[in-house]
Structure 1
Amino acid sequence: MTLDNKIAIVTGAASGIGLAIAKRYAAAGARVAIADLKLDAAQAAADGINADHPGAALAVAMDVTDEDQVNAGVAKVVETWGTVDILISNAGIQIVNPVELFAFADWKKMLAIHLDGAFLTSKAVLPHMYAQRSGTILFMGSVHSKEASPLKSAYVTAKHGLLGLSRTIAKEGGPKGVRTNVICPGFVRTPLVEKQIPEQAKELGISEEDVVKKVMLGQTVDGEFTTVDDIAEVALFLAAFPSNALTGQSLTASHGWSMT
């Protein structure tokens, strides 16, 4: 599958899953905007991609919860490359706590980054996609888009919400040539997941080893983490899919952690 001459924006792309997707897209022929809260990190990521694929990457500063920054970032991409064909709404964080101890400020922060960010970036790119009557939006969901786990009320709520947003845009955008789907990874050993290991060990009163073996991997079929490259391949498949036959859907890649 190729993405020759396609223009993509990937949020939260300076590291982790977002960076892996950006690299895979560049290798498949796309030009990719590395949109991240940290411009210096985004520039370093773009420089790395450009070293292998000259001119394929552009660094964009973007706080996905700030409408002005989102609009400015999308405008920069369109000014530079002419349009937007693909949006990967990937920016996200994790905060764990039981509901009764979950700070309201943390709750609002989680929903803002995951849900407001998905909404604002979609709203910004859709006019360009509608004008050309083609485009793909991919939301980074989770196995927690379909199932729940203790200590993750805000994250689970946000990831469930992405399914609804995706399905709505699929209904609205289908007649205008725009598809949208949700990627639902299992546990991927990124810094976000690494941070959860000691936090969950403390909250659950178990060892960090048990968090990994029992909480994160205990429900998989092989005891393996999903990798960033696994998710990048899923993102390539969904972006390159040629028709509206696959829209409004969610695809789980979790080594069997979730089979819904």
Structure 2
Amino acid sequence: MTMNLKDKSCIVTGAASGIGRAIAERYVRAGASVAIADLRQDAADAVAAELTAKGPGRAIGVAMDVTDEDQVNAGVARVVAAFGGVDVLVSNAGIQIVHPVEEFPFADWKKLLAIHLDGAFLTSKTCIPHMKARGGGSIIFMGSVHSREASPLKSAYVTAKHGLLGLARVIAKEGGAYGIRANVICPGFVRTPLVEKQIPEQAAELGISEQEVIERIMLGETVDKEFTTVEDVAEVAFVFAAFPTNALTGQALNVSHGWNMA
């Protein structure tokens, strides 16, 4: 079996930093054409230029608010114009907001769910017709171990990440006849700016030290007390993108140093 992304057209949302950037870099290194989709055009363009310079693939920057249907449609249209179609979608854009349920502002709840769930839905909805035209494709959602677990203070995030499992499975069922696969990557804690921000927030909410947040809350269930890396996640994203058959669809894979072995 050959797993190959050479000359494939890929869209990665939230790709100007963190996990999304690492996935985009992995795809470009494999020879793919990658759209760096992010809120800020300048940040997306800067990453695209850097990755293109490294090659052998290429990248372009695309401004995209994944909660805005018009922006999603326009962004995907730009990718199709530049690359000729869409083969791979990685719906990675996300945020984190932590509060106890009774103190969770409804506006924040709706904002988080919109970015994670509406974003996954809108980008998938727009890309699927282009994948059908290409004879297949791969849709990858960035879930979390919180797609299977729950933690205090994260009601919106846990709800959103659980929801991605259901959406991926429906797309896998609907897309199978067209060669369209859908899978979910479920990382443990990855030390990105998103996670760095959570450490003091959770320490304050729970009344414990930042070190306790890291050792007990974030890494307490791992086998080795190690953070997952962006490179770990990017390698799994490569496999999901490049796997050539429907044998690998509708699945969720933990990348978590053993935290949750479901």
Q: TM-score, normalised by structure 2?
A: 0.98
Alignment correspondent of 2:218: 216
Q: Which residue of 178, 190, 201 maps to 1:188?
A: 190
Q: The residue matched to 2:82 in structure 1 has which SS?
A: helix
Conserved 8 A contact 2:97-2:112: yes
Runs of 4+ in 1 over 6 A off after TM superposition: none
- Identity level (%): 73
Taking the aligned partners of 2:239 and 2:148, their CA distance within structure 1 comes to 21
The Cα offsets for residues 6-31 of structure 1, whole Å up to 9 and x where unpaired, read as 00000000000000000000001101
The Cα offsets for residues 75-111 of structure 1, whole Å up to 9 and x where unpaired, read as 0000111100000000000000000000000000000
The Cα offsets for residues 144-188 of structure 1, whole Å up to 9 and x where unpaired, read as 000100000000000000000000000000001100000000000
Q: Which amino acid aligns with 1:202?
A: A
Taking the aligned partners of 2:134 and 2:50, their CA distance within structure 1 comes to 31
CA drift at 1:132: 2.0
Alignment correspondent of 2:167: 165
Taking the aligned partners of 1:129 and 1:239, their CA distance within structure 2 comes to 13
Taking the aligned partners of 1:238 and 1:222, their CA distance within structure 2 comes to 26
Taking the aligned partners of 2:136 and 2:260, their CA distance within structure 1 comes to 31
Taking the aligned partners of 1:133 and 1:242, their CA distance within structure 2 comes to 12
Q: Which amino acid aligns with 2:146?
A: H
Report the RMSD for the aligned CA atoms in angstroms. Answer: 0.8
2:14 pairs with 1:15: no
CA drift at 1:2: 2.6
- Aligned residue pairs total 260
Taking the aligned partners of 1:52 and 1:127, their CA distance within structure 2 comes to 31
Alignment correspondent of 1:105: 107
Q: Which amino acid aligns with 2:218?
A: M
The Cα offsets for residues 98-147 of structure 1, whole Å up to 9 and x where unpaired, read as 00000000000000000000000000000011122210000000000001
The Cα offsets for residues 50-89 of structure 1, whole Å up to 9 and x where unpaired, read as 1111660000000000000000000000011110000000
Q: Which residue of 229, 232, 235 maps to 2:237?
A: 235
Q: The residue matched to 2:138 in structure 1 has which SS?
A: strand
Q: Which amino acid aligns with 2:203?
A: A
CA drift at 1:226: 0.1
Q: The residue matched to 2:226 in structure 1 has which SS?
A: coil
Alignment correspondent of 2:44: 42
Taking the aligned partners of 2:239 and 2:124, their CA distance within structure 1 comes to 20
Alignment correspondent of 1:246: 248
Q: The residue matched to 1:244 in structure 2 has which SS?
A: coil
Alignment correspondent of 2:33: 31
Q: The residue matched to 1:123 in structure 2 has which SS?
A: helix
Alignment correspondent of 2:93: 91
For structure 2, list consecutive stretches of 5 or more residues without a partner in the other structure: none
Q: Which amino acid aligns with 2:128?
A: L
Taking the aligned partners of 1:125 and 1:175, their CA distance within structure 2 comes to 16
Q: Which amino acid aligns with 1:116?
A: D
Q: TM-score, normalised by structure 1?
A: 0.99
Q: Which amino acid aligns with 1:81?
A: F
Taking the aligned partners of 1:240 and 1:55, their CA distance within structure 2 comes to 15
- Cα 1:55–1:223 change in 2 (3 A) is closer
Alignment correspondent of 1:114: 116
